[in-house]
Amino acid sequence: MRWYRAAVLCGMGILGATATAQAAEGGGCPPGQAARQGESTKLFQDFATQLLVRKDARGAYETFAAADMVQRNPPFGATRDSTIAQWEKMTGLPGARFVIETVTMEGDVGVVHFHGQLKAGEAGAVITQHDRLRCGKIVEEWAEFSAGAK
């Protein structure tokens, strides 16, 4: 079983090196659409602020996510539209509050770490959301949740 894990990790390293090389070359993006690291960081910070501080899910995803974005969190469905619908439900609750702790870029993945609370006075969750960017747009999203966080 160890050899299998090593082979998978080795393969992931090879794929990661390929993705890094593609990103350095523009990742197959049309001319003018490949974002540089600093631009990606700003783009992702703007996305996180629009989504979590301004609570504008539709605007955030329609501006910053590709139409064919893939969602990897089952409660959010699998598409950009289902993600927007779920975020609109959550941000629309009267006691909903989201506090951004950090926003970073790690290669082509934006990471936002935040505390979310849907009802005032109740424990919320600590969330780490990951968004893969390609050609200046979010193309994939997934997250880890730690419920009951204060």
How far apart, in whole angstroms, are the C-alpha atoms of residue 129 and residue 7? 27
pLDDT at residue 118, rounded to an integer: 94
Query: Is 3.10.450.50 the CATH number for 37-147?
Result: yes
Q: For the sheet containing 137-149, what is the strand order?
A: 65-71, 137-149, 124-134, 109-117, 97-106
**In order along the chain (150 residues), what is the average pLDDT of each group of 10 residues?**
35 38 52 69 96 98 98 95 97 96 95 95 94 96 85
Tokens of 124: 């919320």
- Are 56 and 69 a contacting pair, CB within 8 Å? no
CA dihedral sign, ordered 48, 49, 50, 53: positive
pLDDT at residue 49, rounded to an integer: 98
pLDDT at residue 29, rounded to an integer: 80
pLDDT at residue 62, rounded to an integer: 98
Q: With 0.85 as the threshold, say if the pTM is over it.
A: no
Domain definitions of the chain by residue range = 37-147
